[in-house]
Amino acid sequence: MNKLVNVHKLFVLFIALFFQTENIKAQEQKEFATINEILVFTKSKNYQFKNADWQIKLANLTNKMAKLNRYNPKTPTSIQVLDNINQQVSFLPGQAFGQPNGTFKEVTIGQQYVSTFNIQPQFDILNMASNAQIKTAKINQQLVENQNKINEQTLYEKINMVYFNILSFDAQKEVLKENIKIANDILRIINNKFNAGIARKQEVNEAEVNLISLQDKLEQIEMNTKMQYQTLNLFFENQIDASLSQNLWDYQNIDTVLQTQNNLIVENARLQSQMAQQEYKALKYQNLPVLSFVSSFNWQNLSNDFSFAKNSNWINYNYVGLKLSYDLPTTIQKYSNQKSKQMQIEIWKNNEEHSQKENETRNAQMVLEYEKSLKQKENFRKIYDLKKDTYEKNYNQFKENILSLDKLLISQNDMLISKLNMVSALANIGFNKTKIEINNEF
C-alpha cells in the first residue's frame, strides 16, 4: 500500500514538473536594450494590431460592396407548379352555343395544371443615393486607417510610461542599495559607540529604524517593478518574459531640442465631419428618382392531364424596358433623418475647429514638459551635489563624536531624497523625449 502511495506522489510530481516546464517554454526570456526594440516587437504580438488588420479588411469590403451596390443588381427567380383543383367557372351567352337568347352556358376556362418558371434580371442605371454611399465608404476607409494610427500611438505611449517606470524603479533600487550600505555603516559605528559606553540605546534603535525603513522602501520598489513587468508582458500577450537592459543614467547628458507636429486628432475630426456631410448627401439623394433597367423572362407549361405531360403546351412571354421609380418625399422618417444629420454636421464642424486648437496646445505642452524636465534635472543635480557634500561632512563629524546621530540621519535622508529627485527628473526626460518621438512618427 505504501508503495502505491509513493508511486502516486511521484506521478503527481512528474505532472506538476511537466506543466511547469511547458509554462517556462511558453514564456521565453527576452531582453530589450531600447524602447524602440519593444515598440517594434509589440507590433508582432499585441492583439490590437491584429484587430486593426481586420478593421481595415472590413472597411475595404464595405468600400467594394458600396461600388457594387451602385447598380443594385437583382435577379428575382421563381418556379411555380399549380394544380387548379377547382377552376373558376365563367358564364357565357347561350346564343353563342345555339341556345335561346337570354340564356347562359357554364364554361370552365383555363388549364388545370399550370407550371411557370420566371426570371427577372434588373439593375439601377442611375441612383444618386447609391453613388453617394461610395464616397461615404471611401471616407470611412480613411477614418478607420486614421483611427488605427491613433490607437497605435496611444498604445506606444502606454508602453512608454511602463518602460520608464521600470527604468526609474531600477535606478531607485540602486540608490536605496547605496543608502542601505550607508545605513549599515552608521549602525555599525553607533553599535561600537554603544558598546564603548559613549552612545545611548535610543541612538542604536534610531539607526536600526533607519536601516529597516530603507529596506522596506527597497522591498516596495521591487514589488512595484514586478507589477510593471507584468503590465509590460501583457503588451506582448504574456508570450514572453521581458527584461530591460538600458540604464536610466544614460539620459544624464541629453539636452536635444525637440519639436512635434502631430495632426492625427485634427485629421480624425476632419474625416468625421466629411463623413457626416457625405451621409447627409446620401439621405438627401434618396428623394431623387431612380432609373432602372427591368426585364422578365417566363416559361409556362399548360396541361389538363398532368404537370409537364407529353401533350402539354409551352408558352413563352418576355419583356425588357426601363423603369423610373420615385418615392414622394412624404416619409416623416426621411425628413427627420435629414434634419438630424444637418445638426450633426454643425456639431462636427465645431469639433473640427476645436481639435485644431487642442492639437496645437497638446503639441506645445509636450515640448514644454520635455524642456521643464531638462531644467529640473540640472537643478536637482546641483541640489544633490550640495546635499551629498553636507552628508559627507556630517558623517566625518559624526565619526569624531562632534555631530549627533539624528542630524546625520536627517542629512542622509536629504541626500537620498535629492538623488531620488534626480532619478525622477531623468525618467521624465526619457519619457517626454520618447513621447515626442512617438508622436513625430505619425
Whole-angstrom CA distances from 362 to 348, 369, 437 are: 20, 10, 14
| pLDDT > 70? residue 26 | no
| pLDDT > 70? residue 20 | no
184: its cell numbers: 549599515
73: its cell numbers: 443588381
Mean pLDDT, all residues of the chain: 88
pLDDT computed for residue 28 by the predictor: 85
| pLDDT > 90? residue 412 | yes
C-alpha span between 371 and 376 (Å, rounded): 9
Q: What would the mean pLDDT of 173-193 be, rounded to a whole number?
A: 96
C-alpha span between 49 and 238 (Å, rounded): 16
Q: Over pLDDT 70: what percentage of the chain?
A: 92
Full-model pTM? 0.81
Of 352, 325, 345, nearest to 283 by C-alpha is 345
pLDDT, one tens digit per residue, over 116-146 is: 999 999 989 998 888 898 999 999 999 999 9
If you search the block for the grid coordinates 468600400, which residue do you land on?
A: 63
**Secondary structure (3-state) at 409:** helix
Whole-angstrom CA distances from 64 to 50, 70, 137, 174, 389 are: 21, 10, 8, 59, 72
pLDDT, one tens digit per residue, over 144-153 is: 999 999 999 9
* Lowest mean pLDDT across 102-106, 165-169, 406-410: 102-106
Is 29:239 a contact under the CB 8 Å cutoff? no
Is 77:95 a contact under the CB 8 Å cutoff? no
Res. 96 pLDDT band, cuts 50 70 90: low
